[in-house]
A = this chain, B = another copy of it.
């Protein structure tokens, strides 16, 4: 039996757009992994009438209600009172919790003055399971009433995440008999609508496992999800679907559960004990940045040069004057020279060179914005590709960097570059 859940975020700062509702994302991920269907997110402000209305609506359409926020010591922290009223549970003073809150101020806030309103946090619904807060003062709680389960978590993201892990997830895991298992199929080089057109029939006929496409940053993520009682059962269910997707998408799949393109490439490089260096121009440091976003990249990434001003391609990177004299800056020849020079300068196994026009204006040679050449120096070979022309500056840069990573991925896995 699949439970349904609704997550209610309590906090005016969310409605003002001051912060993004990351608590809902964290709770959703946790529920998803538990095989609990989240059908609604709701956010209300620190307003008792609207919170009450939201809770009444949630009670009518969900088995599990999880609230985040509104558990603190100030006058606008109203979650417990409201939920207690709706479910007819009196609030009861928990002496143990009051002691813990006093101790928190003494030991962890260095004897900071504990104003009386903090004791408000020790009032909890009668008979509830108290959920300890390891990173803050406000305890959460969980209770069942009339077939509904209610869990109240604190608003501050770090506190919410911690209490999810130690309190909410164990409470909920006990309610469910099956789990969800997922494989992420990462696709590069084919657009969302093409992927969907090729897989639409397959996706529509699948009920368990399911296959869903997500487009993001010039890539497509296909999420394959199975609901089963064990990992083995799930894998057996997902294997045929995986085969079908591979048969349709082939080399466009850059990895399964390998994370981003950069993560995938770094894994291959580390596995093969190889290194890479980059020479960038229009991508301006973006490729280096993406590779170094990941801890442990230093094993494989040696560094890069952003030769932004044209002459620095000669003076800093060491591209020969002749190449620049005889070719437009945004050209195959220059990209290939840059890739070779990056490799030589840093002593790397692979070199990547990217040159082009990010836009919105044409460059000094009059080359149109969106024109990019990406080269890879590998072994005694040179590969060069001209990615799809985009017109948005940020997209031109991101897609050029992704193309470079995909070329290296293909080379490292023995596929046509």
Residues on A close to B: CB < 8 A? 9, 12-22, 24-32, 38-45, 47, 50, 53-54, 57, 61, 72-76, 107-110, 112-115, 117-118, 135, 156, 158, 191-194, 196-197, 200, 204, 212-215, 223, 280, 282-289, 291-293, 295, 297-298, 301-309, 312, 315-316, 345-347, 358-361, 388-395, 397
| Cβ-defined partner of A289 (8 Å) among B39, B41, B284, B295 | B284
Residues of B within 8 A of A308 (CB): 288, 292, 297-298, 301-304
- Inter-chain pairs besides A39-B44, A73-B196, A158-B392, 7 sampled, C-beta below 8 Å: A12-B212, A17-B24, A115-B196, A285-B304, A286-B289, A301-B309, A303-B308
- CA distance in complex: A282, B135 (Å): 20
Sample (21) of A-B pairs whose CB atoms are under 8 Å apart: A12-B212, A16-B28, A17-B24, A17-B27, A18-B29, A18-B223, A24-B43, A40-B44, A40-B54, A42-B42, A74-B193, A76-B212, A109-B388, A110-B388, A110-B389, A285-B287, A288-B306, A293-B393, A295-B358, A298-B308, A315-B346
Q: Report B-chain residues with C-beta under 8 Å of the C-beta of A44.
A: 39-40
- Asked if B292 and A288 make an inter-chain contact with CB atoms under 8 angstroms apart, the answer reads no
Contact B29 A25 (CB under 8 A): no
Residues of B within 8 A of A397 (CB): 292-293
When all copies of this chain in the complex are counted, the total is 2
- The reply to whether A307 and B303 contact each other, CB–CB distance below 8 Å, is yes
Q: Which single member of B26, B41, B302 contacts A9 (CB below 8 Å)?
A: B41
How many angstroms from the CA of A375 to the CA of B315 in the assembled complex?
Answer: 23
Q: With A25-B19, A41-B9, A308-B298 in contact, do A303 and B316 touch (Cβ < 8 Å)?
A: yes
Residue ID in chain B nearest A44 by CB atoms: B40
For A29, give its contact among B16, B283, B291 (CB under 8 Å): B16
Which chain B positions have C-beta within 8 A of A24?
Answer: 14, 17, 20-21, 43
Residue of B nearest to A301 (CB): B308
Question: A312 near B307 (CB under 8 angstroms)?
Answer: no
Selected from B31, B214, B390, the residue in CB contact (under 8 A) with A13 is B214
Point out the residue from B53, B360, B390 that lies within 8 Å of A295, measured CB to CB: B360
Indicate if the CB atoms of A289 and B285 lie closer than 8 Å.
yes
Partner of A193, one of B57, B117, B289: B117
A388–B105 alpha-carbon span in the complex (Å): 11
In the complex the two chains form, is A113's CB within 8 Å of B194's CB? yes
Once the chains bind, are B28 and A14 in contact (CB under 8 Å)?
yes
Given contacts A392-B135, A393-B295, contact A74 B42 (CB under 8 A): no
CA distance A107 to B392 in the complex (A): 12
Known contacts A14-B41, A32-B16, A308-B303, A194 near B21 by CB under 8 Å: no
Chain B residue at smallest Cβ distance from A204: B75
The answer to whether A73 and B307 touch across the interface, beta carbons within 8 angstroms, is no
CB–CB B292/A306 < 8 A:
yes
Question: Which residues of chain B have C-beta atoms less than 8 A from A292's C-beta?
Answer: 282-286, 306, 308, 358, 397
Q: How far is the CA of A132 from the CA of B114 in the complex (A)?
A: 54
Q: Is the CB of A118 within 8 A of B39?
A: no
A389 to B108, CA, bound (A): 7
Q: How far is the CA of A247 from the CA of B12 in the complex (A)?
A: 27
Whole-angstrom CA separation of A341 from B158 in the bound complex:
35
How far, in whole Å, are A39 and B49 apart by their CA atoms in the complex? 11
Residue A45 contacts which of B20, B30, B39 (CB distance < 8 angstroms)?
A: B39
- Chain B residues with CB under 8 Å of A12's CB are 212
Asked if B20 and A25 sit within 8 Å, CB to CB, the answer is yes
Q: Quick check: A74 and B192 within 8 Å, CB to CB?
A: yes
